[in-house]
Amino acid sequence: MQLLNSRRLDASPRIRVPLAELLDAGFTRTLESRIALAGGLADQLQTFAAWLEERVKARGRQERAALRAARAAMRLCAEPLLEMDRLADEQHVSRRQIERDFTRWLGVSPRHLSQVARVQGVARHARAGASLAVAAAEMGFADQSHMNRVVRQLTGVTPRQFLRSSGSPISAAFRAATGGGTVYL
């Protein structure tokens, strides 16, 4: 979120980082208050979406590197198997510059974001009925054990546990809002 204000993230966010650690206390309290006053789950999600949109619209002048990192990250999320050299060429910079931009503005490497997107892809394939082995192959993992290691490293649980946990109402609502994506907070 600090990317929107063209400020560098102090600590690298990871999948298991609580949202409150990624935001300053003022923003977090405002968000929590608005969500607490909202009615049901649908109203709470609408409140959260409105809050995010408000933050995006309030942005100031962006640094070119921040916008480049954001564009590259969106492209990588859409196509997690994209080669880093091609991603860098699309942004008209070197591979090393893309890596520096990611580290500075997003707090993660392109490889880490690619792995997160690949795990999301595995979850989408598995929810659509594919076996974990087929999902692993579709998302470019060498084999199912490679996928198991990556999922466990990123989420702290096995792929089966990860897929079971994605059946909660809040997960389903976020998936519907993101067109089938998995949201990590």
Token code pair at residue 82: 């994209």
Each of the 185 residues of the chain gets a pLDDT tens digit; together they read 334 344 444 544 444 444 444 455 666 677 778 888 888 888 888 888 787 777 666 555 567 888 889 899 999 988 999 999 999 999 999 999 999 999 888 888 999 999 988 988 888 888 888 899 999 999 999 999 999 999 888 888 888 888 877 666 666 666 676 666 555 43
Among 113, 110, 118, residue whose Cα is nearest residue 93 = 110
3-class DSSP state of 106:
helix
Among 36, 22, 109, 42, residue whose Cα is nearest residue 73 = 109
The answer to whether the CB of 2 falls within 8 A of the CB of 56 is: no
Token code pair at residue 159: 């792929």
- Whole-model pTM over 0.75: no
How many CB atoms neighbour CB 130 within 10 A? Answer: 15
